[in-house]
């Protein structure tokens, strides 16, 4: 089965193919990410970082929501980032600014686009938990730590250099992956829609980032 998050039609076809298998879905990990991309639009006309990191995952979960609910207990784990704190998606009037989610080329900055997509991940995970937890489907967002051993840096040589220099001072990919394990297999872990960050620091689902409320009140 092939899934290309940069094409919403591919996401739709993947969901249809999975449903055709008629198997339960107890765990869904939204893990794909794009980082430091030059500005580009997907075939759907959206900025690539936003679509790959957030919208593609969002659409996939929506298409598989009925399967998750029928498979309950089930859980969704969204791999986000601590860098979500260093951005905003509201305008000066504190209203959601959609142009910040999928900016034009002149308004694009790769790092900011990544941070905004990770903020969308958190907002999505917490709202999903609020809506589906009564039906036995939990959702949690996790920050796995700085991914110096991954290939996220491949799109710009500056990040490649920085990631390489920082590697001796960071944890291995295996160590970071272990953070996901309790959320995937422990029946008592992640039932509160929390956000997990390195060293098991847990943040509650209802917290504010500037004037954004992460869970509807």
Runs of H (alpha helix) within the chain: 8-20, 48-50, 56-70, 98-101, 110-132, 157-166, 173-177, 180-185
pLDDT mean over 191-208: 46
Phi and psi of 86, rounded to 5°? -100, 40
What band does 68 get if pLDDT is binned at 50, 70 and 90? Answer: very high
**Positive or negative torsion for Cα 119, 165, 198, 71:** positive
Burial (CB count within 10 angstroms: exposed 0-12, middle 13-18, buried 19+), residue 174: exposed
SS3 100: helix
CB 79 within 8 A of CB 31: yes
What band does 49 get if pLDDT is binned at 50, 70 and 90? Answer: very high
| Structure confidence at residue 70 (pLDDT) | 98
* pLDDT (tens digit per residue) in 149-182: 455 655 555 656 665 666 565 666 666 667 677 7
74 forms bridges with which residues in the sheet? 137
* pLDDT (tens digit per residue) in 76-93: 999 887 766 657 776 667
- CATH architecture of the domain formed by 8-144+179-213: 3-Layer(aba) Sandwich (3.40)
| Structure confidence at residue 176 (pLDDT) | 61
Catalytic: 114? yes
Candidates 82, 78, 79; CA nearest to 146 is 82
More confident residue, 139 or 200: 139
Please identify which of the residues 114, 149, 159, 214 carries the catalytic annotation. Answer: 114
By percentage, how much of the chain surpasses pLDDT 70?
Answer: 66
User: Has residue 199 got a pLDDT over 60?
Assistant: no
């Amino acid at each position: 089965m092939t899934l290309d998050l940069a094409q919403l039609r591919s996401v739709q076809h993947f969901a249809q193919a999975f449903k055709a298998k008629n198997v339960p879905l107890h765990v869904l990990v939204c893990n794909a990410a794009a980082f430091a991309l030059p500005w580009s639009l997907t075939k759907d006309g959206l900025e690539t970082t936003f679509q790959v990191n957030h919208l593609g995952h969002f659409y996939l979960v929506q298409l598989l929501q009925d399967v998750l609910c029928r498979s309950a207990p089930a859980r969704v784990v969204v791999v986000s980032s601590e860098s979500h704190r260093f951005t905003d998606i509201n305008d000066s009037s504190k209203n959601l600014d959609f142009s910040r989610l999928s900016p034009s080329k002149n308004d694009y900055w790769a790092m900011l686009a990544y941070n905004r997509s990770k903020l969308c991940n958190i907002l999505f995970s917490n709202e999903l938990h609020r809506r589906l937890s009564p039906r036995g489907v939990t959702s949690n967002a996790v920050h796995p730590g700085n991914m110096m051993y991954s290939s996220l840096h491949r799109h710009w040589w500056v990040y490649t250099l920085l990631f390489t220099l920082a590697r001796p001072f960071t944890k291995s990919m295996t160590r970071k992956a272990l953070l996901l394990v309790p959320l995937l297999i422990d029946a008592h872990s992640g039932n509160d829609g929390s956000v997990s960050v390195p060293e098991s620091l847990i943040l509650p689902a209802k917290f504010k980032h500037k004037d954004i409320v992460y869970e509807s009140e």
